[in-house]
A and B are shown apart, each in its own frame.
Chain A
Amino acid sequence: MRRLLIAILCVWPVSGVAGPQDLVTTALDRHILPSFQTLATEGAALADAAGADCSVEGEALVQAYHSAFDAWLGVSHLRFGPTEVDNRGFGLAFWPDPRGKTVKSLATLVRDQDPVIDQAPTFATVSVAARGFYAMERLLFEPGLLGEDAAYGCALVRAVATDIAVTTAALRDDWEDRYADTLRQPGSEGSPYATPTEGVRELFKALSTGLEFAADVRLARPLGTFERPRPRRAEARLSGRSLRQVVLSLGAMEALAAILAAEHPAVAQDLATAFAAADEAAARIDDPTLAQVADVQGRIRVEALQQRVNEVRNVVRGQLGPALGVGAGFNALDGD
């Protein structure tokens, strides 16, 4: 057996050019911080709408719910840093929920008339399953969940909306006051990033994980298997948002991908083409709830969208990662 002796790499590649840090700065200023600002603004508007009229039939409240959820999809792929503090990410978006905890938790609050909902700080201590956008969807779109007591139902709607406002504001503030600096100044004390490239790697990982979530969870859950499609598992189905969740999150990730690929025009072009193909595939799907996975013709279209998303993933993994020098290793990506 031929053995090739290789010395251990004791010198880590240190980037001497300003490239990686420029990418991180651009991502912060044009993508991350504005998107979290939008989320906080929409979160506050949702609380205001619930405060003005907590009726679940109220058009203004429903509209505010949609706008705030839309804003979440602008950042739902950025699951690192502030989103991981104090369960903020889960407190806004507890999904998938294969054990139906959101409905159970909300039903328990209603049944017990639990006064925990009366104060924002105490409400933040209830199960994350009863908080955030998916809980709000149930309250607004699942008739009967709120029971007979209109006063408690109203208070619960307001509590969930207020909690969303508090959490989204905390996210924005934590990004602006703390975490952005850890990315702007890698290697500084308290920064989890030693080099600009590590910041780029974090953003790359967010992009690849977000795409994986779109294909393997948002689309795969309702698709189920050919023999057993599972349309009722589609995300945010009750409010007719299932397809919208995919489309908006892809849009946000396309923006991030474009920033990361800025110095590699060929990769940027392939990414733009792949994302455009996904948009076209999404436009051919008629049903906003993805319920068409249950019939053969409809299913083919949803599978086509999933395939286009997987093609975006291939470009990200096969071209963008190597171009940025952050292609993740076999074990580094394993997650076990």
Chain B
Amino acid sequence: MPSRRSFLAGIAVSGLAPTLTWADAGDPRYLAAARMPDGQFRLFGLDNDVQPIFSLALPARGHAAASHPQRPEAVAFARRPGRFAVVLNCVTGRAVAELQAPEGRHFYGHGVFSTDGAVLYTTENAYDQGEGRVGLWAANDGYRRVGEIKSGGIGPHDIARLPGTETLAVANGGIDTHPDTGRQKLNIPTMQPNLCYLTGDGQIIETMQLATEHRLNSIRHLAVRADGLVAFGCQWQGDLAEVPPLLGLHKRGRPPRLLSGDPAEQAKTAGYVGSVAFSSDQRAVGVTAPRGGRSQIFDVATGALSATILSGDICGIAKGVDGFVFTTGEGLSGAPGQLVQSGTARVSWDNHLVDRQG
């Protein structure tokens, strides 16, 4: 724990008054990064209708964000293979801290806080070993690096915490990359993704692997339901003619279920899911497939495709007040049927729409 002196010093440096809460930032429901028309990147706080409350400058293209459970702090991650993340005070707009990936590590673009907000967990690549890591940062001590644990696989991307627990779920996408070769995939022939459940001190509780015929389905993005059901979205690395399922559901201790539309509909996803979310009533699960300009909504109980929503470059998806809300790379945001463009400037909403209510 930080000393009182260092804690106060931290406040002085950050300019953060100890009493600030998310309400002071306008109580945004969602966070999302976007590219502005002038080519700059910003992080937005958005209301229930997915319309902007505030926006803050980002140093480069963002990917996902993590929001501190109590303090109005958002961690914006650079797109992989980024080496930095910035913690923004959403009231003052100032950077509270900058996270620099340690030597030999880079971020993958996702992170999550512990329930009490004391620890930030970040997915990282230990690229000389070609192994995944989860970095641990002391959020109450200036986001100091305090350790790391193995992610249980290669290429960890999204990370979530099972509600009401400290159990972490990590989407180990299985794809080995090295900064020397940019985003080139180095191990497709041998890749083996998994969904790994970990304790905060690095014990592997359970590892879920898909059947051999889905070995090329890179598990990338996660959504968690209140009861611990995990939804995972995949990106297919094989021949698109195989038209694989790209959405799975997993409950610890049980085999996974894979959900798919009929082959004609499924082919239109182009083998690529960008984001995944559960609906507000938790009975539906949705994915976005930006390469197919579509979102697919499935019934959790039956696994059947229940709706398809078409909108160009649709990618962000989250639980809405009623059902789902979306963002698109073409500047639209909102609920299906009410997707609107905010203001006169067209922003390109980036990959993820982060729901602060989980």
Interface on A for B, CB 8 Å cutoff? 1-10, 12, 80-82, 84-85, 87, 90-91, 96-99, 127-128, 179, 182, 189-194, 216-217, 220-221, 233, 328-332, 334-336
Cβ of A334 and Cβ of B239 under 8 Å apart? Answer: no
Given A8-B336, A332-B291, are A87 and B189 also a contact pair (CB < 8 Å)? yes
Closest 8 CB pairs of A and B: A329-B313, A330-B329, A331-B315, A331-B290, A192-B240, A330-B348, A87-B189, A329-B329
Chain B proximity of A194: nearest CB distance (Å): 6
Interface centre among B52, B270, B336, B350 (most CB of A within 10 A): B270
Cβ of A98 and Cβ of B178 under 8 Å apart? Answer: yes
A211–B32 Cα distance when bound, in Å, is 31
Chain B proximity of A177: nearest CB distance (Å): 13
What are 13 A-to-B residue pairs whose CB atoms are below 8 Å? A1-B52, A6-B341, A8-B309, A81-B241, A84-B237, A96-B184, A96-B186, A98-B181, A127-B189, A334-B79, A334-B315, A336-B80, A336-B220
Cβ of B241 and Cβ of A179 under 8 Å apart? Answer: yes
**Known A12-B293, A193-B267, A330-B350; 6 more pairs at CB < 8 Å:** A2-B343, A7-B337, A80-B240, A87-B189, A329-B313, A334-B315
Cβ of B182 and Cβ of A217 under 8 Å apart? Answer: yes
Cβ of B350 and Cβ of A12 under 8 Å apart? Answer: no
Cβ of B342 and Cβ of A81 under 8 Å apart? Answer: no
Which chain A residues border B340 with CB–CB below 8 Å?
Answer: 3-6
Which chain A residues border B343 with CB–CB below 8 Å?
Answer: 1-2
A116–B43 Cα distance when bound, in Å, is 55
Cβ of B337 and Cβ of A192 under 8 Å apart? Answer: no
Which chain B residues border A3 with CB–CB below 8 Å?
Answer: 51, 340-342
Cβ of A192 and Cβ of B350 under 8 Å apart? Answer: no
Cβ of A329 and Cβ of B181 under 8 Å apart? Answer: no
Cβ of B243 and Cβ of A8 under 8 Å apart? Answer: no
Chain B proximity of A224: nearest CB distance (Å): 9
Chain A proximity of B317: nearest CB distance (Å): 11
Which residues of B (49-63) have their CB < 8 Å from a CB of A? 51-52, 63
A310–B293 Cα distance when bound, in Å, is 27
A80–B270 Cα distance when bound, in Å, is 12
From A2, A80, A98, B344 is in contact (CB under 8 Å) with: A2
| Interface residue B144 (Cβ < 8 Å from any Cβ of A) | no
Cβ of B290 and Cβ of A332 under 8 Å apart? Answer: yes
- Determine the residue in chain A with the shortest Cβ distance to B236: A84
Interface on B for A, CB 8 Å cutoff? 35, 51-52, 63, 79-80, 109, 130, 157, 178, 180-184, 186, 188-190, 220, 237-241, 243, 263-264, 267-268, 270, 272, 274, 290-291, 293, 309-315, 328-330, 332, 336-344, 348-351
A38–B313 Cα distance when bound, in Å, is 38
Which chain A residues border B190 with CB–CB below 8 Å?
Answer: 127
Cβ of A194 and Cβ of B267 under 8 Å apart? Answer: yes
A336–B293 Cα distance when bound, in Å, is 16
Which chain B residues border A81 with CB–CB below 8 Å?
Answer: 239-241
Which chain B residues border A193 with CB–CB below 8 Å?
Answer: 267
A221–B314 Cα distance when bound, in Å, is 34
Interface centre among B63, B330, B349 (most CB of A within 10 A): B330
Cβ of A10 and Cβ of B310 under 8 Å apart? Answer: yes
From B188, B268, B351, A336 is in contact (CB under 8 Å) with: B351
- Determine the residue in chain A with the shortest Cβ distance to B329: A330
- Determine the residue in chain B with the shortest Cβ distance to A10: B310
Interface centre among B189, B220, B328 (most CB of A within 10 A): B189
Cβ of A192 and Cβ of B79 under 8 Å apart? Answer: no
Chain A proximity of B160: nearest CB distance (Å): 16
- Determine the residue in chain A with the shortest Cβ distance to B237: A84
A329–B346 Cα distance when bound, in Å, is 14
Interface centre among A7, A221, A336 (most CB of B within 10 A): A336
- Determine the residue in chain B with the shortest Cβ distance to A128: B189
A3–B329 Cα distance when bound, in Å, is 17
Which chain B residues border A10 with CB–CB below 8 Å?
Answer: 310
A43–B178 Cα distance when bound, in Å, is 31
A82–B239 Cα distance when bound, in Å, is 7
Chain B proximity of A4: nearest CB distance (Å): 5
Cβ of B312 and Cβ of A329 under 8 Å apart? Answer: yes
A98–B349 Cα distance when bound, in Å, is 34
Which chain A residues border B341 with CB–CB below 8 Å?
Answer: 3-4, 6
Given A8-B337, A9-B311, A336-B80, are A331 and B332 also a contact pair (CB < 8 Å)? no
Which chain B residues border A217 with CB–CB below 8 Å?
Answer: 181-182, 184
From A127, A194, A216, A334, B268 is in contact (CB under 8 Å) with: A194
